[in-house]
């Protein structure tokens, strides 16, 4: 279990370093997660210690949403005042995401049929 925690903390630390010195616009934990995924892809698997820690973390993943829910309640008056703009932005972004995903799938499937 200690080995799995060390691996996670190592990649998060690497992500923080990369974020601090190379890519300051991206959060360190995101960079660390990408590095961890790349490392796991290169190794072609997850070791047992890392899997055990990941399973343990995933059991309590819902707790991470508590601060966000509290933030929503704290800013409820501002959210109500700007509800139309927020809903418009959410609906627009969903439509753009679905449309761009469809275009990418169409483009990639067209390349596969030529080979």
Taking every pair of C-alpha atoms in the chain, what is the biggest distance, in angstroms?
56
0.85 cut: is pTM over it?
no
What pLDDT is stored for residue 93 in this prediction?
Answer: 97
Question: Could you report the per-residue pLDDT of 23-42, keeping only the tens digit for each?
Answer: 888 888 889 989 998 998 89
Same domain, 55 and 71: no
Structural domain span for residue 20 = 1-59
Same domain, 69 and 44: no
Same domain, 29 and 13: yes
Q: How many domains are contained in the chain?
A: 2
Same domain, 22 and 37: yes
Looking at 32-36, 47-51, 63-67, which range is the least confident one? Answer: 63-67
Direct distance between the N- and C-terminal alpha carbons of the chain, in angstroms, rounded to an integer: 46
Same domain, 14 and 45: yes
Mean pLDDT of 44-64: 84
Residue 45, CA distances (Å) to 36, 39, 40, 57 in order? 11, 9, 6, 19
What pLDDT is stored for residue 99 in this prediction?
Answer: 96
Same domain, 94 and 112: yes
């Amino acid at each position: 279990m200690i080995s799995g925690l060390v691996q996670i903390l190592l990649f998060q630390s690497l992500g923080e370093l990369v974020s601090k010195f190379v890519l300051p616009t991206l959060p360190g934990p995101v960079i660390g997660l990408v590095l961890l995924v790349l490392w796991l892809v290169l190794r072609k698997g997850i070791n047992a210690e890392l899997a055990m820690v990941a399973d343990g973390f995933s059991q309590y993943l819902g707790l991470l949403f508590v601060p966000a829910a509290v933030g929503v309640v704290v800013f409820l008056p501002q959210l109500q005042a700007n509800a139309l703009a927020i809903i418009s932005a959410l609906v627009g972004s969903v439509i753009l995401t679905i449309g761009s995903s469809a275009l990418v799938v169409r483009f990639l499937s067209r390349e596969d049929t030529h080979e």
